[in-house]
Copies of this chain bind each other. A is one copy, B any other.
Amino acid sequence: MIGWARGGGSDVAGRGVNPVDGGVLEPEFLAATEAEVARAGDLAASAFPQYAALSPRKRAGFLRAVATRVEGMGPALVERVTAETGLPAARVEGERGRTCGQLRMFADLIEEGSWADVRIETARPERTPVPKPDVRSMLVPSGPVAVFCAGNFPLAYSVAGGDTASALAAGCPVVVNAHGGHPGTSEMVGLAVVEAARETGMPEGVFSLVFGAGHGVGQQLVRHPEIRGVGFTGSRAGGTALMALAAARAVPIPVFAEMSSVNPVFVLEGALRERWGAIATGLHASVILGAGQFCTKPGLVFVAAGREADQFVAKLGSLVAATPCVAMLNREIAENFATRRSRLGSMTSVQVVAEGMEQQAGVFVTTSRAWRKNGLLHEEVFGPAVLVVLCENEADVIAAAEALEGQLTATVHAEAADSDLVRGLLPVLAHKAGRVIHNGYPTGVEVCHAMVHGGPFPATSDGRTTSVGSAAIARWTRAVCFQNMPAGLLPAELQDGNPRKLWRLVDGERTRAPQA
């Protein structure tokens, strides 16, 4: 879908595959040609000034129309997602709800408008030696962006998912690179976006959707000179490749890649003593949720070695041993998981505690000493596997936290007896992760104003932003200020009368009032 038109495509084709039965799904999807990708970028650029200038109410109407149309597809969409990904219908329906909720959250956010961080400094012409000018700043959309769909969120982080919704809300046209794992889903949602755009009077090019086989189409998209930012959710290899491409452009652009996180869980001694059974149960549920195919799946658990740790590990093992085998999203993911899982199990320093049915899920155990020495044990294993690391003492726990790479989340289970250690541990974890969870589990990401779903590299390419929640809009923006601009030429957000009733910083004071 190049603007309002359907592309002819190249002779390179792909099809959806049902991961449950391996069946090849109709129809065939044709990869976009170079000319089509170029045209999608060009159309986005030509739509940009017009789209960015639309009132937030109009953009909000477009986002809500997308949500309505996604919902309007009803069971047909759910069936296609299930066929292409193996995800059960209940999960797909939940994800659809989240997707439409996100679209409406961003619609509300831009209608309210205070996200634009308006700052006004009024002139002081009498100031000596130099008069103070009138300076007014706000966030503006950075330009057309490219969004790469996530394999594990065929709705919520794909064609009309979080990155698309936040970018469209900010005022950025979007070119989406469809995911090969769910082409039919992508087409259905893409059509819904195009129809919503036409229905609400958006300019052509505000949205395009390209299919690629291999990496060529995506690479061309990132290199397109008019693209100003990239959103990506996927593997570390894929994300770092896009980072390198974007940095090598004549005009480098930011890449927001969510890549790799093992989401460490620290079970401190007091918590282990009081709740080892409950924690094993909760952790098991979090590890196997969606066949472990969440970016927030807990992959590493640090516990104090001892009798309770042994009980905890045994219980986790018995739960895992009874875990049914579930079809993973696609064959590549299943094979990658099998490879990494076997590699883990075959290491001399690692003990296999238990395996799930058909050898899918797995619990492994090692010592903190072995973990610290072996970088392979720090890597994400995408799927239902968890490695328990036995720590010798409190210093060992802190040292383990300090040895972690950047993470999306870090979790602590602690009780009153752990209060000293938890105070030492929290600042270390807050420096390593975007979200720090107390006595809970990392799966399940609340979509809200305060969510930070991001974290230092390699969790993401740019740990300064979030991909979930309303604050995600910031990544598609830049600040601009206007100096001594006559009232009639100022955007509504910056006008004295504050017609949009925004919260603004006026001469250092936070206020919603019009300016005197």
Q: Residues of A with Cβ closer than 8 Å to B?
A: 48-49, 52-53, 114, 119-121, 130, 132-133, 135-137, 140, 142-143, 243-244, 247, 251-252, 254, 406, 422-423, 426-428, 430-431, 433-440, 444, 446, 448-452, 454, 456-458, 461-466, 471, 477-486, 489, 503, 505, 508, 510, 512
Contacts and interface: CB of A to CB of B under 8 A. Distances in A.
Contacts of A428: 49
B451 A137 contact: yes
| A252, A480, A481, most chain B CB atoms within 10 A | A481
Most B C-beta atoms less than 10 A away, residue of A252, A439, A452: A452
Contacts of A452: 137, 479-481
A415 to B, nearest CB: 11
Contacts of A466: 479
A500 to B, nearest CB: 14
A465 B448 contact: no
A437 B243 contact: no
Contacts of A477: 464
A140 B251 CA distance: 29
Contacts of A437: 482-484
A119 B484 contact: no
A481 B437 CA distance: 8
B510 A438 contact: no
28 contacts: A53-B427, A120-B450, A121-B451, A132-B448, A133-B440, A135-B451, A136-B450, A137-B450, A143-B431, A243-B247, A252-B457, A252-B461, A426-B489, A430-B480, A434-B478, A434-B479, A434-B480, A434-B481, A435-B480, A435-B481, A435-B482, A438-B483, A446-B483, A449-B505, A450-B505, A464-B478, A464-B479, A510-B510
Contacts of A450: 119-121, 135-137, 481, 505
Nearest to A108: B508
A294 to B, nearest CB: 14
Nearest to A442: B483
Contacts of A489: 422-423, 426, 438
A254 B438 contact: no
Contact of A121 (B49, B135, B449): B449
Contacts of A140: 430-431
A120 B485 CA distance: 36
A503 B485 CA distance: 29
Contact of A510 (B114, B120, B132, B508): B114
Contacts of A433: 480
Contacts of A247: 243-244, 247
Nearest to A436: B482
Given A53-B427, A121-B446, 4 more contacts: A119-B449, A451-B481, A452-B480, A464-B478
A487 to B, nearest CB: 11
